[in-house]
């Protein structure tokens, strides 16, 4: 190898380097700084206009084949002017997003984002901070926001916490911390996944799928999560839970974790968190709350009392990209016992040596509390969002989204062709279109009804007017409207009701005209 280096005299290589002195910054690239500045301002203005005029666009539209086909596997080896790439973005990316910025979006549980969040993302990109560790102010900003989040959740100020991609990751981290605490594994020790103890976790049948996935990723096996039935309000059945724990103990298994949900993804149901806290205290189990959707309800005085007990959890997962209106992605995990949290994730390595002074100071680092080492500055958009709008205004938008859900509930109940399928607990309404009685031509069997409601939802999505999604409640296909976006108002409720009725009767008429089902 030494010969290979000698082939080019060292000084010649240095000369070549000095001549090239290229970076990716404008003075050396295809643009100069003034050109870049002008283009940057255009890009910023375009995105502000996009948000300002969002109502003039369809919520969502299908991607034309020709647009999809533009996305190729050809690596762009040659440079393209920024303005040209931006033009491609404006024409072939921007119009074909999911539409969750639009007030007519009420599918799944998506946040609407804000212009302030967008600007903060730009600043974070400019700083290009790596929040894995070390002693720099972005980490202090993240710690500050985590302290705000602890205060909102009612957790003690010395709780640990971390920004992560979302609640899927936050729930996974909680399962792993709970597992390590149950196994009594030492920090830096050989962490064992399942162990001989046969750990068992509990949640309701309405728990989000990511919790089961987390239990599996944590190496506990898919059988290790017991799904406990729910009551009529879709809350975990406490008697059934206590029984299951007793049964498992008798069988020699080790119950270790109960996951309560603050706002189920299906219907917005809130488990009785205070009762779960009591039970976990009594049974000495880790109490985790999946508050992905609902935890920020603490910001709305009318909702906060319904979350009582959440502040007693050992850990709490929630999203800022849903009700917090921060741009994707931003979730938080809070852990009451910061030592248990750190023990589950900390590792030592020579290249991550901590110091008393200098840039390598400031332990523990965020990388000691989760699986990621390199991490972006997610906290900045939340810092801006809370500072600029104020927590109270966020609480108001949260309360408003629940008021919209109750408004839709009233409209559904007042409309004979519509039927409510689940009690409205929070910001989610599950309902369906009912077929008019026409027993000869169209027996309204449940399969038929499911198909019609599915078709209504697809038709509404394709109309671009409103975007609800679907779920199943007691086996019945439901049209599901989740109000998360702060821009959504009564006009969108009108559009949804009108749209469902119009699509429903059009589909029904089309079906009645044909004696044979379409498919």
Ligand X SMILES: *Cc1c(COP(=O)(O)O)cnc(C)c1O
Q: Which stretch binds ligand X (CB under 6 A): 124-132, 287-295, 428-436, 497-505?
A: 287-295
- Check residue 167 for interaction with ligand X (CB under 6 A): yes
Pick the closer one to ligand X by CB: 290 or 311: 290
**319 versus 368: smaller Cβ distance to ligand X:** 319
- Spell out the alpha helix ranges (H) of 338-445: 338-345, 378-389, 391-413
The interface with ligand X within residues 103-122 (CB under 6 A) comprises 109
Quote the Cα angle for 50-53-54, to 5°: 75
Least CB distance to ligand X at residue 365 (A): 23
Q: Please check whether residue 501 is in contact with residue 113, taking contact to mean a CB–CB distance below 8 angstroms.
A: no
Question: What's the per-residue H, E or C state across 242-253?
Answer: HHHHHHHHHCCC
Query: Is residue 487 close enough to count as binding ligand X by CB under 6 A?
Result: no
Burial of 436 (0-12, 13-18, 19+ CB in 10 A): middle
Preceding omega of 329 cis (within 30 degrees of 0) = yes
With binding defined as CB under 6 A, does residue 425 bind ligand X? no
Nearer Cβ to ligand X (165/185): 165
* Segment contacting ligand X by CB under 6 A, of 3-11, 13-21, 236-244, 288-296: 288-296
Task: Find tokens 């296909």 and name the residue.
Answer: 477
CB nearer ligand X, residue 99 or residue 324: 324
Whole-angstrom Cα distance, residue 86 to residue 99? 20
Minimal distance, residue 214 CB to ligand X, in Å: 10
Residues numbered 325 to 344 that lie near ligand X (CB under 6 A) are 331
Cβ nearer to ligand X, comparing 138 with 268 = 268
| Distance, CA of 159 to CA of 141 (rounded, Å) | 16
CB of 200 closer than 8 Å to CB of 187: no
CA distance 467 to 450: 18
Question: Is the bond preceding residue 364 a cis peptide, omega within 30 degrees?
Answer: yes
Binding mask 120-159 for ligand X (x = CB under 6 A): ----------------------------------------
| By the rule CB under 6 A, 101 interacts with ligand X | no
Strand partners, 477: 472
User: Is 311 near ligand X (CB under 6 A)?
Assistant: no
Binder of ligand X out of 106, 116, 199, 210 (CB under 6 A) = 210
Task: Please name the residue that has the structure tokens 């070549």.
Answer: 16
Determine what percent of the chain falls in helix, strand and coil, rounding each to the nearest 5: 50, 15, 40
- Which of these ranges, 161-169, 250-258, 361-369, 496-504, lies near ligand X under the rule CB under 6 A? 161-169
Task: State which residue has the least CB distance to ligand X.
Answer: 166
**Residue whose CB is less far from ligand X, 279 or 289:** 289
Which CB, 481 or 497, lies closer to ligand X? 481
User: Judged by CB under 6 A, which of 139, 293, 295, 382 binds ligand X?
Assistant: 293
Q: Name the nearest CA neighbour of 487 among 175, 62, 113.
A: 113
d(CA 485, CA 114): 10
Tell me how far, at minimum, the Cβ of 426 lies from ligand X, in Å: 11
Q: Is 319 in the site for ligand X (CB under 6 A)?
A: yes
> In the 8-state DSSP scheme, what is residue 434?
P
Which C-beta is closer to ligand X: that of 134 or that of 480? 480
Residue 208 engages ligand X in binding (rule: CB under 6 A):
yes
One of 120, 265, 276, 408 touching ligand X (CB under 6 A): 265
Helix (H) or strand (E) holding 43: helix 33-52
Instruction: State which residue, 167 or 453, has the beta carbon closest to ligand X.
Output: 167
Picking from 309, 217, 222, 243, the residue whose alpha carbon sits closest to that of residue 270 is 309
Residues at the interface with ligand X (CB under 6 A): 109, 166-168, 208, 210, 261, 263-265, 290, 292-293, 319, 331
């Amino acid at each position: 190898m030494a010969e290979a280096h000698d082939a080019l005299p060292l000084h010649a290589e240095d000369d070549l380097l000095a001549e090239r002195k290229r970076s990716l910054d404008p003075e050396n690239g295809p643009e100069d700084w003034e050109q870049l500045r002008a283009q940057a301002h255009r890009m910023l203005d375009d995105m502000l206009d996009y948000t300002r005029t969002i109502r003039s666009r369809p919520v969502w539209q299908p991607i034309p084949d020709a647009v999809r086909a533009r996305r190729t596997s050809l690596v762009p080896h040659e440079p393209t002017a920024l303005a040209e790439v931006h033009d491609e973005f404006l024409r072939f990316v921007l119009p074909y997003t999911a539409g969750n910025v639009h007030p007519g979006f009420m599918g799944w549980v998506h946040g609407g984002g804000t212009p302030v969040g967008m600007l903060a993302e730009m600043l974070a990109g400019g700083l290009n901070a790596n929040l894995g560790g070390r002693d720099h102010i972005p980490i202090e900003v993240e710690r500050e926001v985590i302290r705000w989040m602890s205060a909102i959740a009612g957790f003690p100020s010395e709780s640990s916490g971390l920004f992560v991609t979302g609640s899927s990751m936050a729930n996974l981290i909680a399962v792993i911390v709970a597992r390590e605490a149950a196994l009594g594994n030492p920090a830096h020790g050989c962490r064992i996944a399942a162990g001989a103890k046969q750990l068992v976790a509990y949640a309701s049948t309405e728990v989000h799928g990511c919790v089961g996935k987390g239990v599996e990723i944590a190496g506990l096996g898919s059988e290790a999560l017991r799904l406990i039935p729910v009551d009529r309000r879709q809350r975990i059945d406490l008697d059934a839970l206590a029984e299951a724990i007793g049964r498992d103990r008798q069988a020699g298994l080790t119950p270790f974790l109960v996951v309560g949900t603050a706002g189920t993804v299906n219907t917005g149901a809130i488990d009785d968190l205070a009762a779960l806290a009591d039970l976990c205290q009594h049974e000495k189990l880790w109490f985790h709350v999946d508050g992905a959707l609902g935890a920020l309800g603490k910001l709305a005085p009318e909702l906060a009392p319904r979350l009582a007990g959440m502040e007693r959890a050992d850990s709490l997962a929630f999203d800022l990209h849903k009700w917090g209106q921060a741009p994707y992605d931003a979730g938080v995990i809070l852990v009451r016992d910061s030592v248990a949290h750190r023990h589950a994730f900390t590792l030592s390595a020579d290249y991550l040596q901590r110091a008393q002074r200098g840039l390598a100071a400031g332990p523990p680092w965020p990388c000691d509390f989760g699986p990621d080492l390199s991490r972006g500055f997610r906290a900045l958009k939340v810092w801006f969002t809370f500072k600029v709008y104020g927590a109270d205004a966020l609480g108001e938008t949260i309360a408003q989204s629940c008021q919209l859900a109750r408004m839709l509930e009233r409209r559904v109940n007042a409309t004979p062709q519509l039927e409510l399928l689940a009690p409205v607990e929070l910001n989610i309404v599950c309902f369906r279109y009912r077929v008019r009685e026409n027993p000869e031509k169209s027996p309204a069997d449940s399969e038929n009804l499911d198909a019609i409601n599915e078709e209504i939802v697809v038709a509404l999505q394709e109309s671009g007017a409103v975007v609800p999604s679907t779920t199943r409640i007691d086996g019945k296909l439901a049209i599901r409207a989740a109000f998360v976006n702060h821009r959504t108002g009564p006009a969108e409720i009108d559009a949804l009701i009108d749209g469902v009725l119009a699509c429903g009767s059009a589909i029904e008429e089309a079906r009645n005209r044909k004696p044979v089902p379409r498919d």
